[in-house]
Structure 1
Amino acid sequence: MQQVKLYIIIAMILLVSACNNNDLNSESNNSSSQVNEVKNTESPIDIADEEGEHQESSYVSQEESLSEFIIRLNDYIYEENSKGFQEFIDAYGVYSISYFDDGRDENNAILVYKNDVREDMFLVSSQSGKAGISLSGGTFSTEVKEIYFNDYEITNNALLNIDWLEKDESVIQNQLSDIIKGCQELILKNNEYIPQIFSLSNNYFAFSFSEINENTLEKFYGYWIIFEKVNDSYAIRAIIELQ
C-alpha cells in the first residue's frame, strides 16, 4: 500500500512539473513575439523619412556653407583685403571679365594669378598686362549679409560650356558673348536685384548681384562670381562686372 502511495506522489510531482514547463514555454514564446513586434515597428515610411531628413540636412549644410563662403569673400572685397581675397584663388588663377552695355570701353577677359593680386584690389592680367576690374568701391561697394539660394540645379547653360581652368586668356576672350548669354539666362529665372546663388552642375555655382532689363537684354548691370567646389572648399573662377 505504501508503495502505491509513493507511485501516486511521484506521478503528481511529474504532472505539476510538466504544467510549469508548459507555462514557461508559453511565456517565453509570448515574450519573443513581443520583442519581434517591437523590432518590426520601424516601417519603410519611417526609414524613408529618416533618409529624407538626412538629405535635407545635407542640403541645408551645403546652403549654409555656400552663403558663408560668399559673405566672407564679399567681406574681403568690401574691406579691400587683398590677402584675404587671395585665399580663394588657386593655381588656375581667376578671370576678370568686364562688360560694357554701351560699348564705351572694350569688353575683355584677363587672367590674374594669385600672387599678382595688387594691394589696391585692381586686377591686372598676369599674361598681357591689360587692366581688368577694380574691386575697390563702385560696383563692389555693397556689403552682403544675406543670400538667396535658388534650390534647383541647372544642367543646361552656356557657362557650363566654358573651360574655366583654361590658362590662355585669349580663349576666354573669344567666348565672352557665350558667358554673358549664360548670365542672362540665369538672371531671367529670378530677375531680382538681390545677392543670390544659382547651382550649376559639375560642382559649379554662380553668385549674382545684378538685374536685367527684360525688354532689352543688353541693359544688364551688377556683378557675378563663378566659383567651383574643390574638395571641401571653394575656388573662384571668374569675377564679372556688368556696366
Structure 2
Amino acid sequence: MIQFQNVTKVYPNGVQALKKINLHIFKGEFVLIIGESGAGKSTLNKLITREEKLTSGEIIVNGIKISTLKAKKIFLLRRSIGMVFQEFRLLSKMTVYENVAFAQETIGVPVNLIRDNVAQALEKVGLTAKANNFPKELSGGEQQRVAIARALVNQPKIIVADEPTGNLDIVTAREIMRVFEEINLQGTTIVMTTHNTEFIKRSTKRVILIDNGSILRDYKGKVLTS
C-alpha cells in the first residue's frame, strides 16, 4: 500500500527532515505517526501525497512510484488519497454540502452522482442534518467532520490526516477519533500524525515514533507508560 525505501528528504536550506526511512504500511492499517515538532512527521505525510519531492530513495503508493511521477500525473495519485488537516480548510461562503461536493466537481463527477456521493459521505460522519449550514454555524468538531467527509467523498484507499484533533478539546477529539476508527473498519488505510498522548497511551494501533528524521520505534500500541 505505502512503501518507503531508504528515503531521505533534504530541504533547500540544508535541513535534513528524513534520513534513510524504510517503512511499509499495509492495506487496511491504522497507523499513528508521533514525534516532537520538527521530527519529520509532516514531511513524511507530504511525501506520501507528493506535496514535497523526496531527495533520494523511493516511495511507492498504491503501486505508483513517487520519484518518477510527472507533475501532470500527480492528480491520479491524489484521487486515491484523502487529506485531512489540523486547520479545517473549509470554504466559508459554501455550505457543508457545497464544501464536500467541491471535491467531486474538481474531478468532473456528474452532478447526479455527486448528490448521492455527498449524501453518503455526510451520513458517515453524522452530518446529514447540517448539509445546508455554513462553516461559521458549526462547532469545531463539526467542521472537522465536514473536512473528513470531503476527504471521504472520492472513496480514497488511503486517508492521510495531519494532526486532525490538534485544535479540538479532548471530548471532541475522542469523537473525531471514533469517526476515523469507523472509516478504518470499512477498509480505508489511515496514516495519522498526532501529539495526543491519550490516543497514544490507550491505542492498540501501530505507532511509529520519529525522532530527528529517523524511525526510533515501530510498535503496536500500549507500550508507552509515561
> TM-score, normalised on structure 1?
0.20
TM-score (norm 2): 0.22
Q: Flag the structure with more relative contact order, 1 or 2, with Cα contacts below 8 A and sequence separation at least 6.
A: 2
Greater fraction of residues in helix: 1
